[in-house]
Structure 1
Amino acid sequence: MSRVALSLQIADLSGFAKSVREQLGKLPEPPGHVEMLNLLCRSAGFRNYQHCKGVMEAQQRLQMPAPPAPAPVDYALVERAVRLFDEQGRLLRWPTAAALQDLCLWVLWSRLASRQTFSEKQISELIKRWHVFGDHALLRRALIGWRLVQRTLDGSEYRRIEQKPPAELRPLVTRLRLGA
């Protein structure tokens, strides 16, 4: 196998190290050479080594700047948010910290079907199933206030606003599906 020199830029070294540590922790034994290359490339935001190599070679051919690094994940925030949900993924209480409120609302947003219109009754019923503290109106208003859901002026129709979620949403939703 010929050796190709690849320059790997890491925008968030701390996030990269956390990702490497997390992936190494899942392995039963130390990784081999190719497995380690794949692990490092995944931590840098690529699918695997071949994907990384292909992107780097294409950039060199096109003389384009490197793609932006993925947003770093605040795993401490994810761990705090996990504790706010029960085993069925229902929100146990409304947090006081704005960052946690935001992340909890993103979880609810992710459960709403995209490009679908809901009546007030439908969205309220969904929210009631996704929490246990009995204040679906607070959550519905917060989803609108955080601009995650839009509603008509008369309040008869609600729709999820399509947008890029925070980096913390994916690991949080994964943990909730696995049973925190």
Structure 2
Amino acid sequence: MNRARTLPDAGSRANRCIRSAVTEASLSLSGKLNLPFGSAHSGNFRPVSASSSQRPAINPRTRNGCDMSKQSIPLVVEDISPFTRALARQISESSEPPSHLSLMNMVSRAAGFRNFQHLRAARLAGERLAKPHIPQIIDHLLVERTLNQFDPGGRLRQWPSRRKVQDLCLWAFWAALPARTLMTEHDINARLRKAHLFDDPAILRRTLCSLGMVTRNPDGTDYCRKELSPPAEARALISLLETRRERNTGR
């Protein structure tokens, strides 16, 4: 009877030793694997949130969900012999080993371009021109109404009341200004005065500036036409006005 009573005590001590060993092993494994306290062995396991230890891997070529991989810029030369001679001459004239950007500029010049930026711009322009042209829908009625505001010499008779017609008329004044040319206030007023009959170049000048079609310094000097892409209706109006002026002058 006494011997039978000692067996449960021995079994209890063995069970306690086993549980202690399992607990220590669980805690050690939990620390090594960065698991939350309370493992699956103890029945208190809680899944780790994805925001801490299970964050998705970040692709170094993406930023804010956008692909940041570099664009391929191919280079084609007609004859490799003059290309290599021109490249070798540039490298020999360099006082030190060229950097990555310097070498790209040398290669671009050897191929007949001014620099790498010129090569890249030419390539991108070729890709744009290769794309099929999508014809734009023109509001011919709006173009006709706007054209009727001009006299046979292509000058605006009066400032129109409709906003759409006003905006389209401003493109005609924009086209009357020289491209990439600095102008004083007197110069731009003279050019605008030739394009209308109600003698108010100031309001036209200020409107062009406020809409970003003409730039100027804060002190009101050095006006310059901003190079923009006119909409389809504006291009049609500018072409019709040019034809009207040529007919009026007998050219």
Q: TM-score range by the shorter chain?
A: 0.5 to 0.7
CA distance in 2, matches of 1:175, 1:68: 22
Whether 1:82 and 2:130 are equivalent positions in the alignment is no
Deviation of 1:98 after TM superposition, in Å, equals 1.4
Residue by residue, what CA displacement relative to the aligned partner does 1:30-52 show, whole Å, maximum 9, x if unpaired?
xxxxxxxxxxxxxxxxxxxxxxx
Partner of 1:179: 244
Matched to 2:224, the amino acid is: R
- Select the structure of larger CA radius of gyration: 2
CA contact (8 A) 2:176 2:195 kept: no
Deviation of 1:68 after TM superposition, in Å, equals 5.5
Partner of 1:107: 172
Query: How does the TM-score come out when normalised to structure 2?
Result: 0.44
CA distance in 2, matches of 1:92, 1:80: 13
Partner of 2:197: 132
Partner of 1:6: none
Deviation of 1:115 after TM superposition, in Å, equals 0.6
* Stretches of 4+ aligned residues off by more than 2 angstroms: 177-180
Matched to 1:153, the amino acid is: P
Number of matched residues?
116
Partner of 2:235: 170
Q: Residue 205 of structure 2 aligns to a residue in which SS?
A: helix
After superposition, where does 1:67-78 map in structure 2 within 5 Å? 67=132, 69-78=134-143
CA distance in 2, matches of 1:177, 1:167: 16
Structure 2 gap segments, 5+ residues each:
1-130, 246-251
Deviation of 1:167 after TM superposition, in Å, equals 0.3
Whether 1:142 and 2:181 are equivalent positions in the alignment is no
Residue by residue, what CA displacement relative to the aligned partner does 1:131-161 show, whole Å, maximum 9, x if unpaired?
1011111111111111110110000110111
Residue by residue, what CA displacement relative to the aligned partner does 1:80-106 show, whole Å, maximum 9, x if unpaired?
001110011111111111111111110
Structure 1 gap segments, 5+ residues each:
1-65
CA contact (8 A) 2:181 2:225 kept: yes
CA distance in 2, matches of 1:80, 1:101: 11
Q: Residue 228 of structure 2 aligns to a residue in which SS?
A: coil
Query: How does the TM-score come out when normalised to structure 1?
Result: 0.60
CA contact (8 A) 2:176 2:192 kept: no
After superposition, where does 1:1-180 map in structure 2 within 5 Å? 67=132, 69-179=134-244
Deviation of 1:171 after TM superposition, in Å, equals 1.8
Aligned-pair identity in percent equals: 41
CA distance in 2, matches of 1:106, 1:140: 12
* Aligned alpha-carbon RMSD (Å): 1.8
CA distance in 1, matches of 2:165, 2:139: 11
